[in-house]
Structure 1
Amino acid sequence: MTFHDRSAELDALETAFESTGHAFYVVYGRRRVGKTALLKEFCTDRPHIYFLAAQESEFRQREKFVERVATHFDDRVPRIDGWDEALEYLGDRLADERLIVAVDEFPYLVDENDSLPSYLQSFVDELLVDTDSMLVLCGSSVSTMESEVLGHESPLYGRRTGQIDLEPFDFRAARSVVGYDIEDAIRSFAVTGGTPMYLTLFDYDRPLGENVRESVLSPTAVLYNESEFLLRTELRSPARYTSVLEAIATGHTTPNEVAGATGIDSGPLSKYLQTLRRLRLVDREVPVTASPKQSKRSRYHVADEFLRFWFRFVEPNRSSIEEAPGVVYERSIEPTLPDHVAPTFERICREAVWEAVRRDELPPYSEVGRWWYGEDEIDIVGLAPDTDRILFGECKWTSDPVGHTLVSDLRETAERVRWGPDTRDETFALFSRSGFVDGLADDLGDDWSLFGLDDLRALL
């Protein structure tokens, strides 16, 4: 598989390794985001020991680790009785050679011996610290990495010299993979999201519908059971979590709506939502003008575009897909795909706002998000408290050009947003899939910015 992007992360790892003294990096993030690919790219052409942990007994894990170390140094495999001895053996060898030691899927080792972080603490403090070598711990279980490596209660707390929380690609980064034109690229991104592995499974010389039918809806395809697999690797009893995710993906975004759709009482539901947020499967959102800690107007959305697609279209139609996947696509997915793409388009437009700010095409804002109150809602609101400036934006993924009606509606709704003084500086932006009616730009002042697909292509 071709390695894409991640230049900032590679630069960080390379700088750490080339600097004088030891380095201890932590790389973590959800499954399939490319952590292993990043490690292997970093280790290429550099002296290294790469060890991939597996779900097996502690004895066998430790035995394989020592064998990897011995093979690298061309040693006879020593007899080792515990992790303390295994790490001491590694430390002795690092005294004579500078190299990278990368341990992938570290949580599997902790699952078999929760004392391992304590042994690693001694290794870092007493052996690694006196070398120019680098230890990298990598893991897909975000909860384990945050508690057993990064958390305040971990013996390893405060030892790391750097960390990389690897996220899925945003739309701009994904464009290096997605071969479609801008409109189909947005539609495709609404299916795959920014997870590198999912992006590379599509053949961009073929229509999007064919890719969805063959790479997602086929019962033999990797992505057909992908979401179910992800839940089973993270959760012992995924059934209720599946119900929660399906409810959110199909438009039930408030806790009350999710409770009504799933039949789960508010108490247990709160715990399920908290767990899904911790696993980065669900995000909580409040109006951009509200306090995240104090606001009770929270909404939830599935954090990944592919998971949102899967729980909206695949999970509810499993039986039909087994019988006739083509019919499911033509009758259930294709007609409602624009509704599914619309929230993705909004997120891409918010990404475009930040890029326009970086290019000085828009003035700077400290926060950009959504706003709602009662029946009122605005897709994009940007806040610049230092200058009392506020941005109002709407995003339309429709087949009709945007006209004066949306301009009037946005102005009217903006007046009801309580933020800043009466003399605040208001600016506006419109984003449209199908462009704008003739003459609209001429009728608007300098406080309005219009972005069509060609403008988004240039920005992203």
Structure 2
Amino acid sequence: MRRFIGRDRELSVLGSAFQAVRDAAGSAAQPGQCVLMRGRRRVGKSRLVEEFLRRTETPYLFFTAAGGTAKDELTGLLDAVARSTLPERELFSEETPAQWNAALRLLAEILPEDSPSVVVIDEVPCLMDRIDAFEGMLRRAWDRLLSRKPVLLLLVGSDLSVMEALNSHDRPFHERGREMVVGPLSPADIGEMLDLSPAAALDAALVTGGLPLICAEWRAGADIWEFLRDSLDNPISALLVSAERSLAAEFPPQTMSREVLRAIGAGERTFTNIARAAGGIAHTTLARATDALTEKRVVAAELPLSLRPSRERRYRVADPYLRFWLAFLDPHMSEIERMRGDLTLSRIREQWTSWRGRAIEPLVRESLACLLPDGLLPATPVIGGYWTRGNDVEIDLVCADRQPVANQLLFLGSIKWLENSSFDSHDLAALQKHRAAITDGPVPLVAVSRNGVSCSGLQATYSPEELIGAWRRG
């Protein structure tokens, strides 16, 4: 088994919550603490919790909802209690509660009185969907019983919008727990885990999305083409199957959202072009589909960032791994299944440089948001991009005081992500020309380059090493 990499911040948050429980045990009226943990499927939430439990070495219950009926879920809870390390777990088998209210009451009774414990309920959105009034039952159990025990309650879920709603002001469980977001492994974590150079680690982030299950199949030190060859030769590799499993859980195959997502994944970015690529669907249908995709954080809908308002909304797949899978793997799955992954790999090689050039942009923006301020550039309240309808003016990096219409532009920048070509005077001239199209002011210019900078006249320049360093700082 690979050693556990990264997640220091998340482990610290959980550790602090647990320490608060430990400190209050036996001395406070309500020593219990609750954390609402959310993150996309397969991002490593359960593995993080398991590592936390291993380090904590305290009695715990770990129950994962399976999406069954209320009765089936209750049976699953009883089985999880029987396999838990809670000292009084035998009481469940003796009394066998037949209703969820009774099960939550009995769970509170068997928790230790004077020493800490942990209760994990994974995939809470499944329970909210299948069990009538589950949120109300959970609130009552927490307010009257669970919070009065020294317990850390971890409520975990993959449906981001549902987990956010759980803590909204008009819902029963409002303000009962602290929210915690678990993202993918950072590029720095990926580089450390896989023994890759900074530039190669950023490439790996674009392919794996930082999903631990996919990273675990990447042989340490192997380059991207070795990894892709190995994965395409294995029809059940995590790279091939993870996306389909995640999408099947959120969007049934027959829903229009899947067709819209495929159109965006294929590179269509505007509303009109997406409608055409999705089979000429009606604009009202497309609007519902894009709303559903953005609500679930699968797709990002962005406006140009500048001093003037714009209606030129663009769509992109938000998750790097899903973006790669939709572009290169999903359309050719039958080819891969008949063991011709070599054809798929050849196609990826041909299109890689141009695809990567656009795919790296969101990751660079995230990296700069972690890095700045750095003495050369200020902190980044908002960082995005700018484009016109005809793409005659495009700026990769726009930092401003607010979005989408800014009062002040802080800097503008260009990204050049080629192995054998540096950012040169021609690139700088193009950036200066595009700056003049959106402002008359002397807004500072920056460059981010995979292969160095060979010109002067820039406020700051950034390399893969500095981008990776930003994640270590963050």
Answer whether TM exceeds 0.5 for this pair. yes
Aligned counterparts of 2:16 and 2:358: Cα–Cα separation in 1: 38
Aligned counterparts of 2:407 and 2:291: Cα–Cα separation in 1: 36
Aligned counterparts of 2:255 and 2:101: Cα–Cα separation in 1: 40
The answer for unaligned runs of 5 or more in structure 1 is: none
Aligned counterparts of 1:333 and 1:239: Cα–Cα separation in 2: 28
Aligned to 1:254: 270
Residue 425 of structure 1 and its aligned partner are, at CA, apart by: 5.1
Contact kept in structure 2, 1:429 and 1:449, CA below 8 Å: yes
Between the two proteins, the alignment pairs up a number of residues equal to: 446
Residue 391 of structure 1 and its aligned partner are, at CA, apart by: 0.6
Contact kept in structure 1, 2:37 and 2:181, CA below 8 Å: yes
Aligned counterparts of 1:65 and 1:297: Cα–Cα separation in 2: 49
Aligned counterparts of 2:47 and 2:102: Cα–Cα separation in 1: 30
Aligned to 1:5: 6
Aligned CA distance change for structure 1 residues 68 and 384 (closer, same or farther; 3 Å): closer
Contact kept in structure 1, 2:367 and 2:468, CA below 8 Å: no
Residue 290 of structure 1 and its aligned partner are, at CA, apart by: 6.8
From 51, 66, 86, give the equivalent of 2:63: 51
Aligned counterparts of 2:224 and 2:80: Cα–Cα separation in 1: 44
Aligned counterparts of 1:111 and 1:351: Cα–Cα separation in 2: 34
Aligned CA distance change for structure 1 residues 359 and 48 (closer, same or farther; 3 Å): farther
Residue 307 of structure 1 and its aligned partner are, at CA, apart by: 0.9
Aligned to 2:347: 332
Aligned to 2:386: 371
Residue 123 of structure 1 and its aligned partner are, at CA, apart by: 0.7
Q: Is 2:136 aligned against 1:118? A: yes
Q: Is 2:418 aligned against 1:403? A: no
| Partner amino acid, structure 2, of 1:87 | L
For residues 258-277 of structure 1, the aligned pairs below 5 Å read 258-262=274-278, 263-277=280-294
Contact kept in structure 2, 1:218 and 1:325, CA below 8 Å: no
Aligned CA distance change for structure 1 residues 156 and 250 (closer, same or farther; 3 Å): same
Q: Is 2:87 aligned against 1:73? A: yes
Residue 297 of structure 1 and its aligned partner are, at CA, apart by: 1.7
Aligned counterparts of 2:150 and 2:176: Cα–Cα separation in 1: 15
Contact kept in structure 2, 1:216 and 1:222, CA below 8 Å: no
Aligned counterparts of 1:370 and 1:351: Cα–Cα separation in 2: 12
Contact kept in structure 2, 1:435 and 1:453, CA below 8 Å: no
Contact kept in structure 1, 2:65 and 2:122, CA below 8 Å: yes
Aligned to 2:412: 392
Contact kept in structure 2, 1:283 and 1:303, CA below 8 Å: yes
Of 49-58 and 114-123, more deviation after overlay is shown by 49-58
Residue 359 of structure 1 and its aligned partner are, at CA, apart by: 3.6
Residue 396 of structure 1 and its aligned partner are, at CA, apart by: 0.9
Of 367-376 and 181-190, more deviation after overlay is shown by 181-190
Residue 378 of structure 1 and its aligned partner are, at CA, apart by: 0.2
| Partner amino acid, structure 2, of 1:36 | S
Aligned to 1:314: 329
* DSSP 3-state at the match of 2:214: helix
| Partner amino acid, structure 1, of 2:60 | H
| Partner amino acid, structure 1, of 2:397 | I
Aligned counterparts of 1:238 and 1:169: Cα–Cα separation in 2: 32
| Partner amino acid, structure 2, of 1:392 | L
Residue 409 of structure 1 and its aligned partner are, at CA, apart by: 1.3
* DSSP 3-state at the match of 2:180: strand
| Partner amino acid, structure 2, of 1:165 | V
Aligned to 1:26: 36
The answer for unaligned runs of 5 or more in structure 2 is: 25-30
From 451, 459, 462, give the equivalent of 1:434: 451
Aligned CA distance change for structure 1 residues 222 and 159 (closer, same or farther; 3 Å): same
Contact kept in structure 2, 1:394 and 1:430, CA below 8 Å: yes
Q: Is 2:469 aligned against 1:451? A: no
* DSSP 3-state at the match of 1:434: coil
Moved over 6 A (4+): none
Residue 384 of structure 1 and its aligned partner are, at CA, apart by: 4.3
Aligned counterparts of 2:64 and 2:465: Cα–Cα separation in 1: 44
For residues 194-273 of structure 1, the aligned pairs below 5 Å read 194-216=210-232, 218-238=234-254, 240-262=256-278, 263-273=280-290
Contact kept in structure 1, 2:207 and 2:320, CA below 8 Å: yes
What's the TM-score once normalised by structure 1's chain length?
0.89
Alpha-carbon displacement from aligned partner over 1:154-185 (angstroms, at most 9, x marks no partner) = 3212222x111222234234333232222322
Aligned CA distance change for structure 1 residues 264 and 355 (closer, same or farther; 3 Å): same
For residues 80-119 of structure 1, the aligned pairs below 5 Å read 80-94=97-111, 96-97=113-114, 98-119=116-137
Aligned counterparts of 1:304 and 1:132: Cα–Cα separation in 2: 38
Residue 345 of structure 1 and its aligned partner are, at CA, apart by: 2.7
Residue 408 of structure 1 and its aligned partner are, at CA, apart by: 1.2
Contact kept in structure 2, 1:171 and 1:194, CA below 8 Å: yes
Contact kept in structure 1, 2:214 and 2:238, CA below 8 Å: no
Of 209-218 and 397-406, more deviation after overlay is shown by 209-218
Aligned counterparts of 1:133 and 1:455: Cα–Cα separation in 2: 42
Aligned counterparts of 2:262 and 2:33: Cα–Cα separation in 1: 42
Taking only aligned residues, the RMSD between alpha carbons, in angstroms, comes to: 2.5
Contact kept in structure 1, 2:59 and 2:118, CA below 8 Å: yes
From 162, 171, 175, give the equivalent of 1:144: 162
What's the TM-score once normalised by structure 2's chain length?
0.86
Aligned CA distance change for structure 1 residues 381 and 93 (closer, same or farther; 3 Å): same
| Partner amino acid, structure 2, of 1:40 | E
Aligned CA distance change for structure 1 residues 130 and 264 (closer, same or farther; 3 Å): same
Aligned counterparts of 2:262 and 2:448: Cα–Cα separation in 1: 29
| Partner amino acid, structure 1, of 2:413 | G
Aligned counterparts of 1:204 and 1:102: Cα–Cα separation in 2: 32
Aligned CA distance change for structure 1 residues 213 and 117 (closer, same or farther; 3 Å): same
% identical aligned pairs: 26
* DSSP 3-state at the match of 1:426: coil
Aligned CA distance change for structure 1 residues 6 and 410 (closer, same or farther; 3 Å): same
Contact kept in structure 2, 1:371 and 1:379, CA below 8 Å: yes
From 147, 169, 190, give the equivalent of 1:129: 147
* DSSP 3-state at the match of 2:351: helix
* DSSP 3-state at the match of 1:242: helix
* DSSP 3-state at the match of 1:204: coil
Aligned counterparts of 1:306 and 1:356: Cα–Cα separation in 2: 23
